[in-house]
Structure 1
Amino acid sequence: MRTDPEETSLKSRIPWHSGTFHVIIASSLMGVMGVSLIGPVLPELRPAFGISDAEAGLVITTYALPGIFLTPVIGLLADRFGRKQLLIPLLFTYGVSGGAIAFTTNFTIVLVLRIFQGLGATALAMLAITLIGDIYEGTQRDALIGVNGSMIGIGAAFFPMVGGVLGGIGWNLPFLLYGIGIIVGMLAIVLVDVPAQNESRDDVRVYLTRLFATSRSPRALAIFAALFATIFVFYGAVIIALPLLLSDEFGLGPELIGIVLAVVSLSNAVTASQYGRISQLRSGPELAGLGFVAFGLGLLMIGVAATILLISVGLLAFGVGIGLFFPSIDTIIITDFSEELRAGVMGLRTSTLRLGQTIGPVVFTGVAEFFFVETVNGYRVILFVVSVIVISLGSIIYVLLRR
């Protein structure tokens, strides 16, 4: 049997033997677990705590809220004091506060603990990508960004199914899994080995001046706008609105909702796993623009679909778009911005994502509840309108992100 030289070369660039790389992947998975694990359980929280759709959405909003303000600060600290020094306490905070939610019956305490868990999760994915940029170079770096995105996609597909099964037994069981963050934190202490950082650092004032100037460039603003739009739609439409729609209109329980949501993540994982090869054919900006259009088309299909099968096809297209978009954006940030500002720019990236995560659920559930008699109809209309806007903006973003 003949072996494809290109495939052999690609596999050789993946450091599966590296403990540092294992922790990088695990940290990214912890970040995505924060939301995807409990997405199918959101409908179960309503009777458990006697809350509305909008209040259930606060479980996502409170988790995302700390990242809006704190991620840029963590990026600054990571640039000045080291990635590992920040990664370890964040993992412990994430694991302790997230696991503790399983033991409360007070919804206010749930929200408070989600804030602390969100604090721990603020920069997990950001630091993972930053470490890849610090340690690896060239085509290996591009391949590992794709592998990292693929593993995130696999986790995002796996976690809803696990959360759905556990949530069918009890609403609180999925939250116990967040305690794995404590284990990953202990492994990070032993396994993570990072290269020494450049000692010639600017003082804080000069650093912030450079970072602020970089973040105001047209290219950076286009990247942040695209990131915000993507995550706003993803969390508002797919993570929040779709599970509630599947529960209320199609009568699906958390187990089946988890399976349906897994489609988008599996599609994302497969696409991202091939990013190392795809990036050799098209530039990062081109792929980011194409990804944006792809998940806009997927969202349109979800909004008009009358069957679970058609919704799944829409999620498939949505996942392809995500699998192209995020690795492309991460590659652009790593290659286009100074190494001394890398964690800071990644921090602004993550802060933008957190802003979209915070606002998306509130907007989608709020509009559906306050402007429509039946929330099911509201979600349908919102999904259709937003998909048209996303598709329209896709071409504009494509032009702005091109060199």
Structure 2
Amino acid sequence: MSSEERVKIPWSSTAFQTVLACSLIGVMGVPLISPILPELRGVFGISDTQAGLIITAYTLPGVLLTPFIGFLSDHFGRRPVVLPLLFLFGLTGAAIGFAPPFEVVLLLRLLQGVGASGLMVLAITLIGDLYDGAQRHAVIGVNGSAIGIGAATYPLIGGALASVGWNVPFAFFGVSLVVGVVALFSLTEPSIDSPPSFRTYADRLTSAALMPQALGLWVAAFFTFFLFYGGILTTLSLLLSDVYGLAAGEIGLLFSMVSLANATMASQYGRVSQFLPAKQLVALGFVGFGVSLLGVWVATTPVAIGTMLICFGLGFGVVMPSLDTTTAGLVSGQLRASMLGVLTSMLWLGQTVGPVVFTGVAQNAFDSAVAGYRFLLMFWGAGAVVGGLSVFAYLALKTGATAHHSEMS
């Protein structure tokens, strides 16, 4: 098989189209409404911290349920799991638009988070099932690029719909119902080996999840979404509203810079991955995160902030495909969904903790929330740069030492 055939993207495949749709829906839940978080404070009469709970309630189920959803998928198949998730996501998300009490909003977001918790992990699982080698890298890159394009579009859509009414963006979640109906008739079940007994399965999964090379992936996944959801989608949204007086549509436009840069970088991941190992790409990605946060900290205009957000998107575009491909390749198909479930659980944990930590610390440990947000951008930005450079240097030295040892042998 030629190199071109190995990396061919199966655009006409209904399975591949379903993968992209699941990924796009899985990433919709926060970017679509992040530009209207400041407006929701007035709608429901809530504080910054309570506004952050709208995100936290959505992300919390993923922390606890994603590995379990991976287990169900490994045992009962991909199709019987993904279809109910699509319908649950759409129904509960759209219901928020009917302006229930804030406590009910949090409950609906919790249920919507249950629906979202498995969609992205099942998308990557299907890619692992259906493709391998260079084609798997290329398809994961395209999937990441589609996520980036979607995430770039969602803030714009959310901001534009919010100009009609605060509740209109929530109606957009109903698109998941359409995808669910289409998948009901078009998605076929991939062939995987029969799973072992539960005890054997649990033992194998525990051993795989605790491998040293896996532990580093979990840590990187957590901090990637901790910084993105806490530092960018929550903190920066509030700063742009309170300090610069930007409306939801303008905030959405700035946030799209992250996702467009992510989409551009992820689309080239198949090529980029040929130059450096995945772990070193992750380290460089964190340097990009740190440079972006520090740049936002010192920026004095919305235009400058938008420019610095591009750095975050570029880092995101190499970190996420690297984490996905490495995790998918660690184990066989029998454990793939569960291992990707653990990875996604760490992502959800970062999503859940980030907004609470950033808003909670800023409001309670500083004289003003704005001063707290600025300090946290500086603190975590510096930490990401130092940490990323340190890990990159360590891995480079380790790789060099291994190569030298091989030559001597």
Calculate the TM-score normalised by the size of structure 1: 0.95
Asked if the contact 1:333–1:345 (Cα under 8 Å) also holds between the matched residues in 2, the reply is yes
What does residue 281 of structure 2 align with? 287
Structure 2 SS opposite 1:67:
helix
- Within-5 A mapping of 1:166-185: 166-185=161-180
Change (3 A) 1:12 1:352: closer
**Percent identity between the two aligned chains:** 48
Structure 2 SS opposite 1:36:
coil
User: Of 31, 34, 37, which residue of structure 1 is paired with 2:29?
Assistant: 34
Unaligned runs of 5+ in 2: 400-409
Asked if the contact 2:7–2:134 (Cα under 8 Å) also holds between the matched residues in 1, the reply is no
- Within-5 A mapping of 1:193-272: 193-199=188-194, 201-272=195-266
- Within-5 A mapping of 1:4-403: 9=4, 13-199=8-194, 201-398=195-392, 399=394
| Cα RMSD, aligned residues only | 1.7
The whole-number CA distance in structure 1 between the counterparts of 2:390 and 2:208 is 22
Calculate the TM-score normalised by the size of structure 2: 0.94
Change (3 A) 1:358 1:240: same
Write the letter of the residue equivalent to 1:306.
T
Structure 2 SS opposite 1:33:
coil
Per-residue deviation, 1:61: 0.1
The whole-number CA distance in structure 2 between the counterparts of 1:188 and 1:292 is 36
Per-residue deviation, 1:12: 6.9
Change (3 A) 1:236 1:133: same
Per-residue deviation, 1:397: 3.9
The whole-number CA distance in structure 1 between the counterparts of 2:370 and 2:48 is 11
1:23-59 alpha-carbon deviations (Å, 9 max, x no partner) = 1101101011111000001000011111000000001
Per-residue deviation, 1:373: 2.2
Write the letter of the residue equivalent to 2:298.
V
The whole-number CA distance in structure 1 between the counterparts of 2:82 and 2:233 is 26
Stretch deviating more after TM superposition (125-134 or 205-214): 205-214
Structure 2 SS opposite 1:98:
helix
1:328-353 alpha-carbon deviations (Å, 9 max, x no partner) = 11111111223221111111011111
Asked if the contact 2:86–2:176 (Cα under 8 Å) also holds between the matched residues in 1, the reply is yes
The whole-number CA distance in structure 2 between the counterparts of 1:213 and 1:330 is 19
Unaligned runs of 5+ in 1: none
The whole-number CA distance in structure 2 between the counterparts of 1:74 and 1:188 is 18
The whole-number CA distance in structure 2 between the counterparts of 1:187 and 1:396 is 47
Per-residue deviation, 1:105: 3.5
1:161-196 alpha-carbon deviations (Å, 9 max, x no partner) = 010111122111100011111111111111112322
Write the letter of the residue equivalent to 1:249.
V
